[in-house]
Amino acid sequence: MGLFKKKGNWILALGNQTIGLYPDREAAMATAIEEAERTSGMGMATEVWVNDGAGFLLTKAFKPTKGKDKDDDEDLKEDTREEDPGDIL
């Protein structure tokens, strides 16, 4: 993933695919970070790179987050406890 400037527009690219053209660097960076957060939530490690004219610099990295929360896994366990039927009259 990278950003680079071409003819007055910042270009956001993921691999060899251009995702969008933006008039300013801030808009391109915001979109790049949103895309990185989205793809890291799908279990992919994602990095945001920016071309400063001299080369690409890593500005932010996201680790995969899908399936990593232990609290979520506990909710998926089947409840095997027996229910108390209460008082029988």
Residue 28 has a pLDDT of: 73
Question: Distance (Å, rounded) from C-alpha 29 to C-alpha 15?
Answer: 16
Residue 71 has a pLDDT of: 45
Tokens of 4: 């680079």
Whether the Cβ atoms of residue 36 and residue 48 lie closer than 8 Å to each other: yes
Residue 72 has a pLDDT of: 45
Which position has the higher pLDDT, 86 or 36? Answer: 36
DSSP 54: S
Residue 87 has a pLDDT of: 58
Residue 35 has a pLDDT of: 74
- Which residues sit opposite 3 in a β-bridge? 12, 50
Coil, strand or helix: which one is 30? Answer: helix
The predicted-structure confidence for 23-78, as pLDDT tens digits, reads as follows 777 777 777 777 777 766 666 666 666 655 555 555 566 566 655 444 444 444 55
Q: What sign has the CA pseudo-torsion 73, 78, 81, 86?
A: positive
